[in-house]
Amino acid sequence: MNIHTVSTQPFDDQKPGTSGLRKSVTAFQTRHYLENFVQSIFDSLEGYAGSTLVVGGDGRYYNRVAIQVILKMAAANGFGRVLVGQGGILSTPAASCIIRKYQAFGGIILSASHNPGGPDGDFGIKYNIGNGGPAPEKVTEAIYARSQTIDQFKILEVADVDLDQLGAVQLGEMTVEVIDAVADYAELMQSLFDFDRIRAYLSSTAFRMSMDSMHAVTGPYAQVIFEQMLGAPAGTVVNGVPLEDFGGGHPDPNLVYAHDLVELLFGKDAPDFGAASDGDGDRNMILGQRFFVTPSDSLAVLAANATLVPGYKDGLAGIARSMPTSQAPDRVAAALGIDCYETPTGWKFFGNLLDAGKATLCGEESFGTGSNHVREKDGLWAVLFWLNVLAVRQESVEAIVTEHWKTYGRNYYSRHDYEEVASEPAHQLMDNLRSLVPTLKGKVYGTYEVDYGDDFSYTDPVDGSISKKQGIRIGFTDGSRIVFRLSGTGTKGATLRLYLESYEADPTKQGLDPQDALGDLIAIAHEMAQIKALTGRDQPTVIT
């Protein structure tokens, strides 16, 4: 065996963000940049000798190159086996499924999710632990600490593995198994949902759907599940071939970036149901005919209808949502008599709640929904959940959501993103708010009176770990909220996120455009944070 120990020097910017390390492709192409981070992961793990690692990615530019390096480094560092998706492909939820099913030690997922790809785009890498979920903060902190002192890495000198050929090959003493990227995941979906019922519904001439995979990783999964297993007509899945640059687009399933699907669903002769997923397949957008379901509402509706779906027929242990997500799920939890947990942004915070059986469904406002079936958010799972509910209720998406509002009230919700603003003033803005908001209690803005203001701090109810500075919250006495935080996934400058929410119990007032319903709160947020003065922007770049 030809194991090389290569001298290297630390990079000072390998701190994982909300979801792993994300940088431009050119940064990852810097000599030893990838190797340093991979070795830092391995160096901060204990007891993996001879065990199994899962590796795969969203197929973006540099995916195959990075996988070859990771395989050779895993072999040199003593892993016994690597399971890698065919063609280097694994969606994030499929990787989570495979880690759990084969009881792997952990997994490495290559993705920058919804960030654009290609030689001038972004790349990313993250480590998932044995429960299939993103490494918790104590692990990512250890990886970062190691990356600051690293002075060597180990790699096996050997020919590349053919990632397109299914089957096992030896890499030194380690076995590499190239596995079908879709089969295990598709089987898990079949165990949760009533495929017979969905198949019957999809074949009824009255129902039409469109699934936009945005030239990202879910194409092969969606084709197998919707068109082969569930018998949807050919062409139901659009943009179904993963491309290294996602066809030049942002593989981000929202009203702005999934514009083709939005146009179709809001146009003449629109299908009944539309869905999209992101670069790595963990996000979802749900549309009805001329109707958009906000992700927060989606979580609430799925929770309220969960017992209609075989995998959840016995009810939910609890619900968990990230802090900026609207409080719509809280109302369902209260009605069901179960707990609703509020966590910081990022799926890693749901892992303990899911492992401990405290939560069954989880969600984030950023088009993320999932459950205890894996430990990642799961785009196609959410689409199947909706289809199962539609097949049972035989009502339109719009009818289901508006009836939900009548029962629970409507949480008007919107997120305004100010992308790529200068980093220093963005941090200044947050610092200003951090000192301002605790002084605001009792202050009146128009019809709103401040109830509390703080910088969200989370104590994990399972292991007691504390995560501070997770976003500025301003709560009003009528339950409305304004939240500010800086993105932890962007790669250029800073991205300011402003989250707005108000509650309307009266069904006759639930039909407004959210931007109108939230107009006063938007103005208050601008006044408090001095967004224009500090960022130079008076309009957000993306509104969802």
CA-based nearest residue to 160, from 78, 256, 88, 102: 88
What are the phi and psi torsion angles at 3 (to 5°)? -90, 125
Q: Which residue is associated with the tokens 């205890």? A: 372
Put residue 69 in one of left, alpha, beta given phi > 0 → left and psi -120 to 50 → alpha. Answer: alpha
CA-based nearest residue to 371, from 321, 418, 409, 411: 321
366 binds ligand VG1 (CB under 6 A): yes
For residue 346, what are its two tokens?
């990022």
Q: Rounded to the nearest whole angstrom, what is the least distance from the CB of residue 490 to ligand VG1 in the complex?
A: 6
364 binds ligand VG1 (CB under 6 A): yes
Contact 401, 407 (CB under 8 A): no
Note the helical H segments in 322-396.
328-336, 351-355, 379-393
Q: Rounded to the nearest whole angstrom, what is the least distance from the CB of residue 376 to ligand VG1 in the complex?
A: 8
Q: Judged by CB under 6 A, how many residues of this single chain contact ligand VG1? A: 18
Nearer to Co ion, 71 or 108 (CB): 108
Q: Rounded to the nearest whole angstrom, what is the least distance from the CB of residue 77 to ligand VG1 in the complex?
A: 26
Nearer to ligand VG1, 172 or 488 (CB): 488
Nearer to ligand VG1, 441 or 492 (CB): 492
Q: Rounded to the nearest whole angstrom, what is the least distance from the CB of residue 205 to ligand VG1 in the complex?
A: 35
250 binds ligand VG1 (CB under 6 A): no
Which of these segments, 74-82, 164-172, 250-258, 278-286, binds Co ion (CB under 5 A)? Answer: 278-286
375 binds ligand VG1 (CB under 6 A): no
Which of these segments, 290-298, 339-347, 437-445, 519-527, binds ligand VG1 (CB under 6 A)? Answer: 339-347
Nearer to Co ion, 227 or 282 (CB): 282
Q: Rounded to the nearest whole angstrom, what is the least distance from the CB of residue 478 to ligand VG1 in the complex?
A: 26
Say how far apart CA 292 and CA 326 lie, in whole Å. Answer: 16
113 binds Co ion (CB under 5 A): yes
Note the helical H segments in 267-378.
295-304, 328-336, 351-355
Which of these segments, 185-193, 249-257, 271-279, 299-307, binds Co ion (CB under 5 A)? Answer: 271-279
Query: Virtual CA dihedral for 198, 201, 203, 206, nearest 10 degrees?
Result: -150
Contact 321, 296 (CB under 8 A): yes
Query: What's at 393, amino acid-wise?
Result: R
Per-residue contact flags (x/-) with ligand VG1 for residues 469 to 488, judged by CB under 6 A: ------------------xx
Residue 91 touches which member of ligand VG1, Co ion, none, C-beta under 5-8 Å by kind: none
Say how far apart CA 126 and CA 149 lie, in whole Å. Answer: 19
Residues 6+ apart with CB under 8 A from 282: 91, 92, 93, 113, 347, 368, 370, 376, 377, 378, 379
Write the DSSP symbol of residue 17: B
347 binds ligand VG1 (CB under 6 A): yes
Please say if 113 is a catalytic residue.
yes
Task: Point out the residue whose Cβ comes nearest to ligand VG1.
Answer: 113
114 binds ligand VG1 (CB under 6 A): yes
Sole binder of ligand VG1 in the list 128, 305, 345, 388 (CB under 6 A): 345
Contact 174, 50 (CB under 8 A): no
Give me the helix-helix angle, 92-101 and 379-393, nearest 10°: 90
Catalytic residue among 113, 414, 480, 502: 113
100 binds ligand VG1 (CB under 6 A): no
280 binds Co ion (CB under 5 A): yes
Nearer to ligand VG1, 77 or 128 (CB): 128
N- to C-terminal Cα distance for the chain?
Answer: 53
Query: What's at 522, amino acid-wise?
Result: I
Residue 252 touches which member of Co ion, ligand VG1, none, C-beta under 5-8 Å by kind: none
Nearer to ligand VG1, 109 or 440 (CB): 109
Residues at the interface with Co ion (CB under 5 A)? 113, 278, 280, 282-283
Residues at the interface with ligand VG1 (CB under 6 A)? 18-19, 113-114, 278, 282-283, 322, 345-347, 364, 366, 368, 487-489, 497
Give the residue numbers marked as catalytic. Answer: 113
